[in-house]
Amino acid sequence: MFKKSIMALALGTAVVLSGSAIAQDKITIGVSYPTPTHAWASGMNWHAEQAEKRLEALYPDIDLVLVNSPDPAAQASALEDMVSVNKIDALVVLPFESDPLTDPVINVKKSGAFITVVDRGLSKEGIEDIYVAGNNPELGRVSAQYMKGRLESGDNIVILRGIPTTIDNERYDAFMAEIEGSGINVLDQKYANWNRDDGFEVMQDFLSRFPDIDAVWAQDDDIAIGVVAALKQAGRDGDGMFVVGGAGMKETIKGIMDGSELQPIDVLYPPAMLATAMDLTVASFKSNGPVAGRYILGATLINKDNAEQFYFPDSPF
Amino acid sequence: MSDTEVINKQSKRAFRLDLKAMGPALALLILCIVGYSLNSAFLSEGNITNLLTRSAFIGIIAVGATFVITAGGIDLSVGSMAAVISGVMIIIMNNLIGTFGAGVTTILIGCGCSLILGVGAGWINGVLTTKGKIEAFIVTLGTMGIYRSLVTYFADGGTLSLSFDLRGTYRPVYYDSFAGLPIPVWVFIGVAVAGWVILNRTAFGRYCTAIGSNESVAKYSAVNVDRIKTTTYVIQGFCVALATIIYVPRLGSASASTGVLWELEAIAAVIIGGTVLKGGYGRVGGTILGALILTTIGNILNFTDVISNYLNGTMQGLIIITAVWLQRADWSKKKV
């Protein structure tokens, strides 16, 4: 929603400023992020490429340079090249890791560039002009709220977690805090490493171990695919059983649009966040209002009513 | 030396060998008792079936690895190879729907391609090791990276998914049973028996052991070392392809995270089973037990919340080391 309003804002400004914009030099914006190695990241890559086309068509004087890097060292080199070769006016960066990329980003800032940091914060404060990120605790909280709405006190759930990381802890802790006092029993939680195969095996074992499970929080759409396969194999996918995933995979969203009972909702961890950051960075050059600040994107609950606006059939995710 | 002494010595030796052979079986038995005592559902029919089916992937690959390792080689590329073969197989089958429909023909062509790819990939590993005179570790480390990045590339960084039209046809290969056992388990049994016969009852098997013991001696004994070694990698590739054929119908997808660390699990299964890592001695039966032990550890850890999730790796490591120690330590030494 706010993306739309910014676009409208930016459009309006573009019309007003078009006279001066033509006279201006080209604005080069570097966009640096890790090479996609999993589905969510490749969805992010797709959205970023779409945003590049859209923004460059909208503003002829904007040049976006997208570079992805396979490791932190390569990303640091890519940032140096952006300053020396591309002479960027602004940088949108999703750091591979916080610590090794803090200094390289500071160096870019010293060249006078506008800095937008996405998702993974840097190790020092006050470097970035704009910060855009998803909301991990909110993802856990929204999932738990949905569970509370569907389940009664005394009902049993199992939880499949991601990889032991801060991201996973934030989601899990917020979920547990929200569900506390509701009387819903968490039978057990195990790591499924954001992986379909692990989701399948862990769920198989949960099903052997617990004869009575009412719902599953799989936290992630990849894990949920494995969970659903295990439920179907055991023939325990009926009786109001439901699985809550997360992220916003297109197949999951399609299922929600088609009225799936097993996966009736999804909780968004927007793969378009890099595109959003690119919009905001362009707006910082084009908008008549201040844009700098921290933008924490919502972990929207996707259900049958709103699924369509999150469905991107051409995206790899 | 009197006759009785000789007999005594022989029986002692037979007993010692038995204990060594029994090591992995003993470890598996202990694990099962632990599993059952934690939760009686561990020995339920459903869980046993799950365990056996799950072991099939690593088990089949590990039978291949037994040949490679017995002949003194190593193959680190099997996990990535499984991933890339799964991916290519999915692409091929999806594209054939237009020509052959979503029937058995498409699946069979897909499986055929998988076997050709597996054999081809194994042959490349073998030839680079023997004719190219590059250490197997380096060759397969290289191909491991190549295959892994290829599957990422084919999947565009995301996930390759089998068309839903085909899933209905292909699904039974993983989920259906024959005579009470799931099909993957039958494949596993078939591979295990074939592997045992080839390693223990054929000239090829003896050559593998001979090369692993001492490559130069084997060469002077007129064994075609290069050909035998290349063949072990081809067998490995074939096994990976078989594992892939029963893996794809499970979730119908392949991605960059498919088959990660399968190579280490396969090697661990082989070593737990009693095969010597530096070559010269191989046991297919042990490998099967090794694969079962590894799967059982994961299964048991999912059956209990006594141990912190963070310590799963620690438990796995401890059990693997203990299992190998049980069979390697020379228990009868003190008595002699």
Query: Is CATH 1.10.357 the right assignment for the domain spanning B43-331?
Result: no
Q: Which of residues 228-247 of A touch B (CB under 8 A)?
A: 229, 233-234
Give residue limits of the domains in chain B: 43-331
User: Considering only CB atoms, which chain B residues are within 8 Å of A206?
Assistant: 302
What six digits make up the tokens of B275?
A: 């095969």
With CB atoms and an 8 Å threshold, state whether A209 touches B156: no
pLDDT (tens digit, 9 = 90+) per residue, A139-189?
999 999 999 999 999 999 999 999 888 889 999 999 999 999 999 999 999
State whether residue A312 sits within 8 Å of chain B by CB. no
Q: What is the pLDDT of residue B19?
A: 61
In the predicted structure, residue B257 carries a pLDDT above the cut 60? yes
Query: How far apart (Å, rounded) are the C-alpha atoms in residues A192 and B253?
Result: 17
Domains of chain A (ranges; CATH) run 2-132+271-296 (3.40.50.2300), 136-267 (3.40.50.2300)
In the predicted structure, residue B4 carries a pLDDT above the cut 70? no
Cβ(A68)–Cβ(A45) under 8 Å?
Answer: yes
The better pLDDT of the pair B226, A2 is held by B226
Q: What is the pLDDT of residue B330?
A: 64
With CB atoms and an 8 Å threshold, state whether A189 touches B175: no
State whether residue B257 sits within 8 Å of chain A by CB. yes
pLDDT (tens digit, 9 = 90+) per residue, B275-306?
999 999 999 999 999 999 999 999 999 998 88
pLDDT (tens digit, 9 = 90+) per residue, A7-27?
444 544 444 444 444 445 789
Q: What is the pLDDT of residue B147?
A: 96
What six digits make up the tokens of B93?
A: 């089958």
* Neighbour tally for A177: CB within 10 Å: 13
Query: How far apart (Å, rounded) are the C-alpha atoms in residues B15 and B93?
Result: 53
Nearest to B96 by CA among B162, B175, B142: B162
With CB atoms and an 8 Å threshold, state whether B39 touches A251: no
User: Considering only CB atoms, which chain A residues are within 8 Å of B39?
Assistant: 209
State whether residue B175 sits within 8 Å of chain A by CB. yes
Q: Which residue of B has its CA nearest to A187?
A: B305
Low-confidence ranges of chain A (pLDDT < 70): 1-24
pLDDT (tens digit, 9 = 90+) per residue, B306-335?
888 888 888 888 888 888 887 776 655 554
Q: What mean pLDDT value characterizes chain A?
A: 90
Q: Mean pLDDT throughout B147-160?
A: 90
Query: How far apart (Å, rounded) are the C-alpha atoms in residues A205 and B295?
Result: 12
Instruction: Render B61-125 in DSSP notation, one character per residue.
Output: HHHHHHHHHHTT-----HHHHHHHHHHHHHHHHHHHHHHH-SSHHHHHHHHHHHHHHHHHHHHHH
Query: Could you tell me the pLDDT band of residue B156, with boundaries at 50, 70 and 90?
Result: confident
Share of chain B above pLDDT 90, in %: 72
Q: What is the pLDDT of residue B268?
A: 94
What percent helix, strand, coil does chain A show, rounded to 5? 50, 20, 35
Q: What is the pLDDT of residue B17?
A: 55
Q: Which of residues 251-270 of A touch B (CB under 8 A)?
A: 251
